Amino acid sequence: MKSINLNISFEQYNSIEELNEKDRELCKLSEQALTSSYSPYSKFRVGTAIQLESGEIILGSNQENLAYPSGLCAERVALFSIGSSKPDAVIKSMAITAQTDAFEIVQPVTSCGGCLQVMAEFERKQASPIEVIFYCIDGEVLKVPSVKSLLPFGFVEDRLGAKA
C-alpha cells in the first residue's frame, strides 16, 4: 500500500481591490454577466467571464428551465460558446461570481462537479492551465492556478479519443 497526500494551492484575497488590474476587470465582467442570467426558479444568478489568449472576453450566465435538468450553469454556457464558435481558442483565465436577492452571499461560490469536468476537458484539450477566480461580490476572492487543483481526479480516458 502507498499513502499519497494531495496539496491544493490557491490564493485568498479579502477583496478584488487586492487583485491586479486584469483580474479585477475579469471579476467586474463576471458581475456584468449576471444581468443575462435566466433564473426565475432559483433566483440564484451566476455569471462568468472568460479571458482568451487573444485578449477577447466571453461572458456566460446560468440559464434555467422549468424542466430543471434542461438548464445550464454559467461556466458551461460560456465554455460551450467558445467551443462552438472558437474551437482553437486558448483560455487563459475565468472569473465566476453569484448573486441572489434571497440572502447575502458571504463567500465565493465555487463551480459544480459537472462544470469542473468541462473546465478540465478544456484545460486538457489546450494543454495549458486555466486560472480560475471565484469572486464574492464585496467580499473574499479565491484564485487557483489551474483546474487540476480543483479536480485532481477528473475523468480521463485517452482511448475514447483514439483513432482506430
Angle of helix 74-85 versus helix 113-126 axis, rounded to 10: 30
Tens place of pLDDT per residue across the chain (164 aa): 999 988 888 999 999 999 999 999 999 999 999 999 999 999 999 999 999 999 999 999 999 999 988 999 999 999 999 999 999 999 999 999 999 999 999 999 999 999 999 999 999 999 999 999 999 999 999 999 999 999 988 888 777 776 66
Alpha carbon distance 105, 98 (integer Å)? 8
The answer to whether residue 162 sits within a structural domain is no
pLDDT of residue 94: 98
pLDDT of residue 45: 98
What are the Cα distances from residue 34, in Å, to 44, 72, 147?
Answer: 10, 14, 22
For residue 71, the enclosing domain spans: 11-154
Q: Which of 75, 104, 121, 123 is catalytic?
A: 75
pLDDT of residue 159: 76
pLDDT of residue 7: 87
Q: What are 114-125's pLDDT values in tens digits?
A: 999 999 999 999
The CATH number given to whatever domain includes residue 57 is 3.40.140.10
* 75 has catalytic annotation: yes
Select from 52, 58, 54 the least CA-distant residue to 76. 58
The answer to whether residue 5 sits within a structural domain is no
| Residue in the structure block whose three cell numbers are 453569484 | 98
Select from 72, 53, 11, 61 the least CA-distant residue to 31. 61
Q: Which residues contact 16 (CB under 8 A, 6 or more apart)?
A: 23, 24, 27, 28, 135, 141
| Residue in the structure block whose three cell numbers are 467586474 | 28
| Phi/psi-derived region of residue 32, left when phi > 0, alpha when psi is between -120 and 50, beta in every other case | alpha
Whether the pTM exceeds 0.75: the reply is yes
Total domains in the fold of the chain: 1
Alpha carbon distance 100, 94 (integer Å)? 21
Angle at 84 between CA 83 and CA 88, to 5 degrees: 50
The answer to whether residue 160 sits within a structural domain is no
What are the Cα distances from residue 61, in Å, to 64, 72, 86, 140, 151?
Answer: 10, 9, 18, 21, 22
Alpha carbon distance 148, 52 (integer Å)? 18
pLDDT of residue 161: 72
Q: What are 86-132's pLDDT values in tens digits?
A: 999 999 999 999 999 999 999 999 999 999 999 999 999 999 999 99
